[in-house]
Structure 1
C-alpha cells in the first residue's frame, strides 16, 4: 500500500495555497514582554540561580527566594524578572538594599541603585509567595499539579514548558539565556521527598520538615527546572556510556516499585540507542533521572518525569499504527530524547520549537531502528503521517512567545527522515545528528543555525527544502506524464516557486533518482508504465495523462 499522498488527494493539493500565519493575528504587549529580548533583559547574562522555596501542600501555596547572579554586559539600571499571578514578589534586594519594582503583568522591572559596570558579576535576591496556578491538564496546561497517591500521601509536581517557569518561580523567563548552574532547595513536610534536577547534595532535617538541596552543574533551560514531591522510593544502576560510567537514578511511588523495575529497563535501552545516534548523553555530571509524576511526563533536564501507567506505547496505544509503537514505552523514549534536543540544544525563541519536537519525534523511529532494524524504523515514521494536519506552518511567529503548529512532531519527523533519504548515506547522516549535539553542545540556537549546519555537513543546498517544509503547509506533488514510451516529463507542483528536491522513483522494475524543479524537465527511461515514488519521501504524485 502506498503511504504517500494518493493521486485524488494530490488533485486537491494542486489548488492549495502555501500559507503562513495570518498577518492580522493580534499579539499583545504582554506577548512581547514575554517573548522578546527586551532592553531590560538584554544587558545582563545569567550566571547562577539559587531557588530556595518551601512548599505547603495543605494550602497549595509556596514561598521563598530566588538569588539571581548575573554578569553585566552593558550599562543599564533596570532589570526584568518575570513572575505570574497570583504569585507576588514581596521584595527585591541588592547588597542588602531594597529596590523599587514596577509591575506590568508578569513582567517586574526592578530599578537598581548600584551602578552596573560591564564585566562585573552582581546578585539580586527576589522574595515571593502565594498560591501558584494549578495545572488543569498537565503538561499541556502548565502549573503545579496537586494530587494524592493511593495511600493518601501528597503527590505534587511542576510542569510549565508552554506557560513558562514564571508560573511558579521568579526567573528570567526567556529561553535565549540559560543559567550556567543552579542550586534548588526545597523544604517540605518530613514524610515527603523532593526530586529536582542535578544531583542531591544534602538533606537537612528541621523538626517537621526536610530540605532537599539539588545542584545542577550544567546550563539548564528555565522550563526544565522542576520539583517532584511524593512518597518516593529509589533504585539505580550504572551505565557504561560513551563518556564513562553514568548514574541512572529512578524514583517512583512505593506501590509501583516492582512494576518500575521492569518497565524502566527501557531507559537503559534508550541510552544505548541514543548515544549511538546522537552522541554522549549531555549531562553526565548531573546524572540521568526518571521520576514518577502525577501527569503524563515531561523532558525536565536530568529529571525526566514519567506518568505513562507502566505500559508500552502512548498510554497503551501505538501512535504510528504499525505495531512498532507498542515495542517501547513512549514516554521514556520520547521525553528522554529531549535530553539531546531541547535540553542540550535549546531554541532561542519558542517559534523554533520544531528543533525540540521534530528531532525528538524522529528519535522514536531511530530507537525502533536500532533494536528492530531499519525497515521497522521506516515503517514507524511513515505510519505517523496520518496525524499530520498541514493547516499551519511548523515555525511560529518570533519575539511574541508564539510556537508553530503541532505538525512539528509528525511532519517534522518525516522531514528529517526524508533528509536522510536524500543524502543516501546512513553513516554520514548519523554523524550529522551527532555533530549537531557536538557543535551546539549546551547552547541555545536558531533555526538558521540548524539549517546551515545540516546544509554544510551534507553538502546540499537545502534552503528551498526548509522553506517548503518548515514555513509552508502545501506538500509538493510530483506531476508527470509520458510523451512516448521512453520519455518521462516531470516537475514539482503545489510548492513554492523555487522548490527543488531530488526524489527516488520506480517505473516498473527500473529505479532512478530524478531532480525536479517547478519547471518541466524530461529524461529517457527504459519503458513507460506505472510510476511510484519512494515512500520515504513525504510528497504526493499525480500523473497528468
Structure 2
C-alpha cells in the first residue's frame, strides 16, 4: 500500500495530506438477521495491532485452508459470517487461540467435529480447549459462526476496517482494507503475516443488483430472491491482510493477456457503472505495466487466477489478484497511473514474497516504491527517473533504522515516533537505487529475482509464494556479487543516520572521506564532475586527496545523485515540509 501518513495523521512524505486519524466507535444497533442487538464494543488495541512476536499458543499452528462466508447487510452496516479454518498443530497443545474483533458476537464454535460450549472471546482473542481427538500433525477443522457491526474505517486505507459508502446514484459501495490492523477486523484468523492459507474460498452474499469482487478465480454465482452470492477461490498461498471484499454496482472489463513467458491469463477491471470511458483508459495501462514487470522482475505470480483491479471508495491496497484502486482516474504527470503501478508492484513485492515480520516491511514498500521511477525510466528515459527519485529523496527522515531485527507490529513500523514510518518507502527506494549503482544492473536484478521467487530461473510453474527477510536479500546480493555486502546494509538499513561525504578543498587539492555512525567499513565509488570531465574516485572512511587541474575549476560531487548520503539542504527542506 502507498502510505504517506502514520496512524496519527502525521506527515510522512512530500505528498501527504495533513489530516488526523479518527477511530470509528460503533453504536449498538440490531442487526438484520440477528435476534438481539449487539452491545457496543470499542475496538481494542489488541485488535488494532497486527504482527509482532508470535503468541505462544500460535507458534505451533499451521493454517492449511480458509473457507470464509460473508452475508453483507448494507442497510444496517452489519455482517453475518461463517469461517472454517483447516489447521494443524505441530506440537502437543491443549488450547487454541484465534483473533477476532469484539465488535462481532460469536454464536457457535465447532472444533474437529465437536461443538465447543466453553470458549472466551475477550480483548480480540478467542480461546478454547481443543477436543482430545486433535492430534499432532493431523489436520482438523474449526468453524466459527459470528455476527456484528464491524469496525468502520474512517480514513481507509490509513486505518482499517469496513468502508460503507454510496455511489453518486445512492447505491451501496463497500470495501475492506485491513493491512494496518490485520485480518481479525473482518474474519476469525491468526493475525500474523506468516499465517497464509494455502487455499482460500471466499463466499460473499450481497443484495441483488450488487457485485462482489474478491481474490482468486470466480467459481460460481448463485441467485436468491433478493440476494446474489459470489464464490471466489485462491489455490495459492494467500496474504491474510490481502483478503478483501469489494461490493458495488460494478461492470467489468476483461481481456486475455499473452505473456512473454508463453502463457496467458485474464486481466479484469471491476468499475462503477457509468464510468466505462474512464475505465477503458485505465484498463489500457494493464498490459503495458505487466510487460514492464515481466521484463524487469519476472513472471506475474498469480497467472493461474487473474490480474485483477477493482474501483474502491478508498485510495488503494495490494489485495492479491484484486488490487484496490480509488484514485478516480486522475491524470498522472509521469505518463502513467502511479497508484495502479504501485499496487501492481505488490503482487511481486508483498504477495509473491512476503516479509516474515513487519520489521522487514521495506521489502514490500521500498521495492514497491522503487518500481515507479524504474517504470518512468523504462517509458521515457533517465530524466524522468532522476526527477522521480529526487521527489522521493525529499521525504526521507532518517529518524529510525529501517530494520531493527526484532519482532515488530505494524504500528511499530508505520508510526514515526516508534519506527521508520515512511522511510520504508522513500529511503528503501533510495537504498535500492544506490545498491544498483554500486553492484550494477545485472547483479541487482538477479538478486531481486532471487528474493522474489526463491530461484534464479523463475518460469511459470517452478515457483510458489514464499516468505523472506532482509538477510535473505543480503544473501542474494552476496551470491550475485561474490562479495560480502553486509557492510552496505549496516550503513543504510540497520541504522538511521546516513553516511556523509565530507569534502575539503585547498586550492587544487580536494580531500574526500565518508563519515558514518556505523562501525562497518564504507567504500563507495564517487563520481566527480571536474570542469567538463567526469572522474570516478573510490572513497572510504579514510581521507583521500586528489589533485585538480587548477585552483578555480568548478567541481560537482556525485552529479547524478547515485549515492544516498546526508546533505544539509535536503535535510532543511525535508524538515520544512514536515511542518
**Pairwise TM-score range, normalised by the shorter structure:** 0.7 to 0.9
Q: State the match for 1:391 in structure 2.
A: 399
Written as runs of structure 1 = structure 2, the 5 A alignment for 1:301-340 is 301-313=320-332, 325-340=333-348
- CA offset digits 1:414-436 (Å, max 9, x no partner): 1101111111x323323332232
Distance 1:457 1:375 in 2: 29
- State whether residues 77 and 115 of structure 1, in contact with CA within 8 Å, keep that contact through their aligned partners in structure 2: no
Choose the corresponding residue for 1:511, options 534, 557, 571: 534
Q: State the match for 1:118 in structure 2.
A: 136
Q: State the match for 1:12 in structure 2.
A: none
Distance 2:500 2:544 in 1: 15
Pairwise CA distance, 1:503 = 2.8
Pairwise CA distance, 1:492 = 1.1
Distance 1:501 1:110, change over 3 A: farther
Q: State the match for 1:131 in structure 2.
A: 149
SS at structure 1 position matched to 2:165: strand
SS at structure 1 position matched to 2:252: strand
- State whether residues 443 and 477 of structure 2, in contact with CA within 8 Å, keep that contact through their aligned partners in structure 1: no
Distance 1:240 1:230 in 2: 29
Written as runs of structure 1 = structure 2, the 5 A alignment for 1:215-254 is 215-243=233-261, 244-254=263-273
Pairwise CA distance, 1:400 = 4.3
Pairwise CA distance, 1:190 = 1.2
- State whether residues 40 and 109 of structure 1, in contact with CA within 8 Å, keep that contact through their aligned partners in structure 2: no
- CA offset digits 1:175-210 (Å, max 9, x no partner): 012111100001111111100000100011122111
Distance 1:283 1:96 in 2: 34
- State whether residues 214 and 245 of structure 2, in contact with CA within 8 Å, keep that contact through their aligned partners in structure 1: yes
Residues 1:433 and 2:448 are matched in the alignment:
yes
Give unpaired runs (5+ residues) of structure 2. Answer: 1-44, 414-419, 456-463, 569-579
SS at structure 1 position matched to 2:374: helix
Residues 1:263 and 2:282 are matched in the alignment:
yes
Q: State the match for 1:54 in structure 2.
A: 71
Written as runs of structure 1 = structure 2, the 5 A alignment for 1:67-146 is 67-99=84-116, 100-146=118-164
Q: State the match for 2:422 in structure 1.
A: 406
Distance 2:125 2:538 in 1: 51
Distance 1:457 1:187 in 2: 50
Distance 1:74 1:204, change over 3 A: same
Choose the corresponding residue for 1:532, options 554, 557, 561: 557
Pairwise CA distance, 1:88 = 2.7
Distance 1:174 1:33 in 2: 6
Pairwise CA distance, 1:389 = 2.1
Choose the corresponding residue for 2:519, options 497, 515, 518: 497
- CA offset digits 1:423-464 (Å, max 9, x no partner): 1x3233233322322217411222221222223223343322
Distance 2:48 2:154 in 1: 22
Pairwise CA distance, 1:327 = 1.4
SS at structure 2 position matched to 1:511: strand
Pairwise CA distance, 1:488 = 4.3
- CA offset digits 1:340-385 (Å, max 9, x no partner): 0011111111121111100000000111111112342233223321
Pairwise CA distance, 1:143 = 0.5
Distance 1:414 1:238 in 2: 35
- CA offset digits 1:518-537 (Å, max 9, x no partner): 33344566666524124121
Distance 1:225 1:488, change over 3 A: same
Q: State the match for 1:19 in structure 2.
A: none
Choose the corresponding residue for 1:447, options 455, 470, 474: 470
Q: State the match for 2:305 in structure 1.
A: 286
- State whether residues 87 and 131 of structure 1, in contact with CA within 8 Å, keep that contact through their aligned partners in structure 2: yes
Q: State the match for 1:211 in structure 2.
A: 229
Pairwise CA distance, 1:395 = 2.7
- State whether residues 497 and 518 of structure 1, in contact with CA within 8 Å, keep that contact through their aligned partners in structure 2: no
Distance 1:353 1:33 in 2: 13
- CA offset digits 1:279-321 (Å, max 9, x no partner): 00010011111100011111100001111111223xxxxxxxx
Distance 2:369 2:49 in 1: 29
- State whether residues 317 and 324 of structure 2, in contact with CA within 8 Å, keep that contact through their aligned partners in structure 1: yes
Distance 1:400 1:105 in 2: 20
Distance 2:504 2:52 in 1: 49
SS at structure 2 position matched to 1:326: coil
- State whether residues 143 and 160 of structure 1, in contact with CA within 8 Å, keep that contact through their aligned partners in structure 2: yes
Distance 2:310 2:437 in 1: 37
Distance 2:47 2:148 in 1: 21
- CA offset digits 1:4-49 (Å, max 9, x no partner): xxxxxxxxxxxxxxxxxxxxxxxx9889995222221111211100
Q: State the match for 1:380 in structure 2.
A: 388
- State whether residues 72 and 80 of structure 2, in contact with CA within 8 Å, keep that contact through their aligned partners in structure 1: yes
Choose the corresponding residue for 2:490, options 445, 460, 467: 467
Distance 1:434 1:210, change over 3 A: same
Task: Using the TM superposition, name which of 176-185 and 379-388 deviates more.
Answer: 379-388
Distance 2:172 2:405 in 1: 39
Distance 1:195 1:345, change over 3 A: same
Q: State the match for 1:276 in structure 2.
A: 295
Distance 2:186 2:143 in 1: 16
- State whether residues 394 and 406 of structure 1, in contact with CA within 8 Å, keep that contact through their aligned partners in structure 2: no
SS at structure 1 position matched to 2:229: strand
Distance 2:309 2:78 in 1: 26
Task: Using the TM superposition, name which of 66-75 and 195-204 deviates more.
Answer: 66-75
Task: Using the TM superposition, name which of 487-496 and 79-88 deviates more.
Answer: 487-496
Q: State the match for 2:361 in structure 1.
A: 353
SS at structure 1 position matched to 2:70: strand
Distance 1:240 1:82, change over 3 A: same
Distance 2:245 2:99 in 1: 19
- State whether residues 87 and 168 of structure 1, in contact with CA within 8 Å, keep that contact through their aligned partners in structure 2: no
Distance 1:250 1:484 in 2: 63
Distance 1:375 1:73 in 2: 54
Superposed CA RMSD in Å reads: 2.2
Distance 1:183 1:506 in 2: 58
- State whether residues 444 and 477 of structure 2, in contact with CA within 8 Å, keep that contact through their aligned partners in structure 1: no
Task: Using the TM superposition, name which of 264-273 and 465-474 deviates more.
Answer: 465-474
